[in-house]
Amino acid sequence: MEQFKIKGLFITLGQFIKAASIISSGGMIKHFLCENEIILNGVEEKRRGKKIYPGDILLINGVKYLFL
């Protein structure tokens, strides 16, 4: 499980995917969300604006992320 430190109160799903270098440009986020299974705290998520808070667990393409 990888750990990701949030700067501030939360980070959006789109911001995280870009910050973690999962995609190379922010313009690709809509396509990425449609084509990949993303699970946030056990629930499938497709909204790029979904807020992620410390303690949340995200699963993208078999990789788990714990937010601190």
- 29 in Cβ contact with 48 (< 8 Å): yes
- 18 in Cβ contact with 29 (< 8 Å): yes
Which CATH number covers residue 25?
Answer: 3.10.290.10
Query: Number of helices and strands (H, E) in the chain?
Result: 2, 7
Q: Provide the number of structural domains found in the chain.
A: 1
What are the residues whose beta carbons fall under 8 Å from the beta carbon of 60, sequence distance 6 or more? 17, 22, 36, 37, 38, 39
- Structure tokens, 22: 């999962």
- Domain range for residue 26? 2-67
This prediction's pTM: 0.88
Q: What is the pLDDT of residues 7-59, one digit of tens each?
A: 999 999 999 999 998 888 778 888 999 999 999 999 999 999 999 999 999 99
